Amino acid sequence: MRNSTYFVKGWKPVLFQIFAVVLGLFIISPIIYALFISVMPADQILSNPPKIIPRTVILDNYKKAIESTRLGRYMWNSLVIAGISSVVRIITASMAAFAFSFFEFKGKGFLFTLTMGTVMIPGDVVLVTNYQTVAKLGLVNTYLGMMIIFMVSALNIFVMRQNFLSFSKEIKEASEVDGCSNLRFFATILLPLNRPVLTTVFISAFIGTWNTYLWPMLVTNDDAMRTVQVGVTMLNFPDGTVYGPIMAASILVLLPVMVMFIIFRRQIVGGLMGGAIKG
């Protein structure tokens, strides 16, 4: 009822929508600003008063950002770390969620509390000690060292458990009658039928790890091992015209996540809400 009223013909709803979009453009204006600067020649960037709209559009800044820095290498590092740790997270989370939703065992409640209790301990508080652990294991400047603290997440376990709990018990019982082991049920029935939640967890884990800054900075000092997020704050260019290439690099770092966010918005939002509100 309420929804249909805005499809009534007339200029008011149209005006409202235009207003809403313009407001949206204002909200993302820092991104638009970065985009404009990234295609501006240096003299326009440095002009006084500053220019907002580029007079001429050039791609030199992008060329410079890619060719005279290790941005490509940083991107690869981030891709490896975000990709692998997100897959590992799905494995650890789905296995734990399977135990919490399909088994009855001693200490289940306690272990689940222990799982959710990790949410109360901020990663930053244990940062220094984790660094010492990783250093002791000889993992400084390695992919494994950068990923190792992102390989499990209580919220992921929680979201998956919610989904698994609503999974039909009849299918599970039928599979038991057929002599299907728990492991086989898990791998060949439960996981494939829960692909949506696996996608959600993967996408949000990927974006989260891709965007993370502090930990990868702490455990790397070798330039070749840096992630994009750390690398983009340390770009050095031979001449003084730094801002154009830096904005170009920023746009390049932003782009994959933006695209993922736009394509998978539904899944990401579903995952967020599932982890926070439900239950």
Partner 1 sequence: MEKSVKNKKKSLAKKIEPFLYLIPAFIFFLAFTYYPFVKTIFSSFFTVNAMGKIRGFAGLENYISVLRNPAFIQSIKNTLVYVTMSSPLAIFIALILAMIANKKTKLSSVYEMLYAITMAVSLSVAAMIFQLMYNPAIGILNHILNTRFNWLNDKKIAMLAVSLIAVWMNIGYNFLFLLSSVRGISSDVLESADLDGANIFQRTWKIIIPLISPTVFYLICNSLAKNMMMSGLILILTQGGPQGSTETMISFMYKQSVNNLNYNDAYAAAIIAFLITSVAMGVSFSFEKKGVYYN
Please list every residue from 134 through 173 that binds partner 1, using CB under 8 A.
Answer: 148-149, 151-152, 154, 157
Q: What is the DSSP letter of 230?
A: H
Q: At its nearest, how many Å lie between partner 1 and the CB of residue 151?
A: 5
| Span of 55-63, 129-137, 163-171, 189-197 interacting with partner 1 by CB under 8 A | 129-137
Q: At its nearest, how many Å lie between partner 1 and the CB of residue 174?
A: 19
What is the C-alpha to C-alpha distance for residues 67 and 51, in angstroms, rounded to an integer?
26
x-or-dash string of contact with partner 1, 200-219, rule CB under 8 A = -------x--xxxxx--xx-
124 binds partner 1 (CB under 8 A): yes
CA dihedral 174, 175, 178, 179 (to 10 degrees): -140
Query: Residue from 9, 10, 11, 20 that binds partner 1 (CB under 8 A)?
Result: 20
What is the C-alpha to C-alpha distance for residues 203 and 223, in angstroms, rounded to an integer?
27
What is the C-alpha to C-alpha distance for residues 173 and 171, in angstroms, rounded to an integer?
5
Closest by CA position to 44, among listed 61, 69, 68? 61
Phi, psi (deg, nearest 5) at residue 263 = -70, -45
277 binds partner 1 (CB under 8 A): yes
Residue type (1 letter), 250: S
- B/e letters for 81-95, b = 16+ CB within 10 Å, e = fewer, are bbbbbbebbbeebbe
Q: At its nearest, how many Å lie between partner 1 and the CB of residue 141?
A: 15
Cβ 13 vs Cβ 6: under 8 Å: yes
Q: At its nearest, how many Å lie between partner 1 and the CB of residue 15?
A: 11
Query: Residue from 69, 229, 245, 267 that binds partner 1 (CB under 8 A)?
Result: 229
Q: At its nearest, how many Å lie between partner 1 and the CB of residue 46?
A: 6
x-or-dash string of contact with partner 1, 31-70, rule CB under 8 A = x-xx--x-------xxxxxx-x------------------
